[in-house]
Amino acid sequence: MESIGLDSENYLFSKLGEYSNELPHLISRRQFNDRRKLTANLCKEIRERIVTEIDGGEEFFCIDSKPIEVCRIARAKRCKVGKDDYERSPAFGYCASQKLYYYGYKLHAVCGLNGVIHSFDLTKANVHDIHYLQDVKYEYQDCSLFGDKGYIGTEVQLDLFESANIKLEVPYRLNQKNWKPTFIPFAKARKRIETLFSQMCDQFMMIRNYAKDVNGIFTRIISKISALTILQYINKMNNRPIGRIKYALI
């Protein structure tokens, strides 16, 4: 479903209905949704194993975040998603790169230079990017991490280096005292994750949201990233560039 760009479960089951003779024991849409949510963590574990097969032993990573909008700001007060669970409810946030305010979540991701997402997390939109680094230092060690200006922080860089020997590379702001031009290879490496997010928004329609609850949103994100990883793995097995995910099933 995710791999071929179908973001509507209703449309998926309408198409599957055409093959009722070949699929006599097809479950209902409700059962599909229930099982999909129950097996989300299992899906995540399987994806992590595939990542190890594709990109194990990586020492250089890119980190970035992507806004996941739940609904328009004008409808935020009427939105019922997460109203019964404050810890996981959406919030108002600001995306500096797109210069817009939105209501929803923020996807944090770490990928290798080959474009494989190693880890990710979904937080409220008002959580600053720099807070995700607290999770990174427990998952990674002895590596280099490339981020954008949102991850600037001397104390954070020192903490990552001392606790996990992680070297965080970020571009300088123009008003910083010890300003230096951006090292070109670092800038090119960081674009890898930006290209990855663009692919997620294009083929997997990540910024579209049809879920009615928090579990549905989280499950859809896991499904989309898992589908991306599987397509990359198929390309690797067929000796193709892993980034050409649109051609993986051809």
* pLDDT > 90 in the chain, percent: 30
pTM above 0.85, yes or no: yes
> pLDDT (tens digit, 9 = 90+) per residue, 195-244?
899 989 888 888 887 778 888 889 989 999 999 999 999 999 999 998 88
d(CA 1, CA 152): 38
- What average pLDDT does the chain have? 87
Domain ranges across the chain: 10-247
Q: How confident is the model at residue 151 (pLDDT cuts 50, 70, 90)?
A: confident
| The predicted structure's pLDDT at residue 81 | 85
> pLDDT (tens digit, 9 = 90+) per residue, 41-95?
999 999 999 999 888 778 889 999 999 999 889 888 888 888 888 788 899 999 8
